[in-house]
Structure 1
Amino acid sequence: MSANDYGLPRSVQVGERELDINGYGKREILFFDAYACALYLARPSSDASFIMSGDISTAIVVRVLANDPPDEFPDKWDEILRQEISGRAYRRLEKAFERLSTGDKIQFLYGPGQGTRVLLNDKQVVSDPGHGLMVEILDHWIGSDPVSIDLASALLAR
């Protein structure tokens, strides 16, 4: 299936930069489609270390595929979010996550000097001034111990 078939855009705007899709894939849990996600960069790269350590514009877009998505953060996300964002921002994001349904779009957008923004269905839920939140989000998908090796390879277009 193409990225478009999953409802993932070919490009994403982060500040003044247009980022193109680097790779995309689908996460399955117990034989069910959970979500599709894509990594967006200004220039293609398969180097996870560079993507995570470089102060470069980056985006991750997630499209919920599950018919009954979970109403709470996965444990790993919970740890990341509690460390990286304020308690108030955490509660806003938690409340938005509780209302997730099939077809919803979650965007994690980072731009140097702009920080990281999290959008749900194109509405900003949280912003964080630094790069740390985006690094942790990227680590979840393309880091040394990704949630899925197959998905990490797809996002890095290996």
Structure 2
Amino acid sequence: MKFLSSLLLSLLVITSAHAKEVGGVQLKPSIEEDGKTLNLNGAGIRSKFFVDVYVASLYTTQPEKKAAPILDGEILSAVRLDIISGLITSDKMVSTVEEGFKEATDGNVAPLQERINTFMQVFSKTEIKKGESFTLVGIPKVGVTAYRNGKEVITIQGDDFRKALFAIWLGHKPASKTLKKELLAG
């Protein structure tokens, strides 16, 4: 009996190490990008006006509890957004991300504005639906490659753009301080 209990406990620990569910979304323990494995660093739910909007998850090449190495481009990283609300529309997502850029840059979006406008097609090309996912891969010294439902949509050049985009969730004025802490669980 003791052996059976130990075996079940071991299986539970192994299973929980590989599977994580947040907000009804089964998160992948790792993703591949450019031949490199990025592991789940942390995840949480972004709520706005008491509505759970999306599950955000952060993937990194090494466990990270601080935002600086990610924002400074020291490591390859990705933010994945899984839409969990039918109330989110493309227009609302564009507006929210634009506001995030303003906060992340302390209102100095002018140097990025043309690239921000181009980037927004990730969210506005077709209407957003519950269950969709967006993966934003920050490539140090290069920029950001964005995927919608696993299909590459666009690459935006510029480390300044990458840093500003990731600062929406990890910067000094994040969209949610609680979510930032959850993403940086390491």
Aligned partners of 1:136, 1:86: CA distance in 2, in Å?
10
Q: After superposition, where does 1:69-84 map in structure 2 within 5 Å? A: 69-72=88-91, 73=94, 74=96, 75-77=98-100, 83=113
Percentage of pairs with the same residue: 22
Describe the SS at the equivalent of 2:55.
strand
CA 1:55–1:64: 2 relative to 1, 3 Å: same
Relative to 1, partners in 2 of residues 1:2 and 1:92: Cα closer, same or farther, differing over 3 Å?
closer
RMSD (Å), alpha carbons: 2.5
How far, CA to CA, are the matches of 1:130 and 1:27 in structure 2? 26
What TM-score, normalized to structure 2? Answer: 0.73
Q: Does residue 1:154 correspond to 2:154, yes or no? A: no
Letter matched to residue 155 of structure 1: L
Asked if residue 144 in structure 1 is aligned to residue 172 in structure 2, the reply is yes
What is the one-letter code of the residue matched to 2:47? Answer: E
- Per the alignment, residue 30 of structure 1 pairs with 49
After TM superposition, the structure 1 = structure 2 runs for residues 1-158 of structure 1, keeping only pairs within 5 Å, are: 2-3=21-22, 5-72=24-91, 73=94, 74=96, 75-77=98-100, 83=113, 85=115, 89-90=118-119, 92-96=121-125, 98-112=126-140, 115-157=143-185
Moved over 6 A (4+): none
In 2: Cα distance, 1:91 partner to 1:4 partner:
25
Flag structure 1 segments of 5+ consecutive residues without an equivalent. Answer: none
TM-score (norm 1): 0.85
Contact 2:59 2:79 in 1 (8 A): yes
Q: How many residues align?
A: 156
- CA-to-partner distance for each residue in 1:111-144, whole Å, 9 max, x for gaps? 3465411111111221023322221121000110
Name structure 2 gaps, 5 residues minimum: 1-19, 103-108
Which stretch has the larger CA shift, 108-117 or 23-32?
A: 108-117
Distance in 1 (CA, whole Å) between partners of 2:21 and 2:159 is 30
Question: Partner residue of 2:13?
Answer: none
Change (3 A) 1:62 1:101: same
Higher helix content, 1 or 2: 2
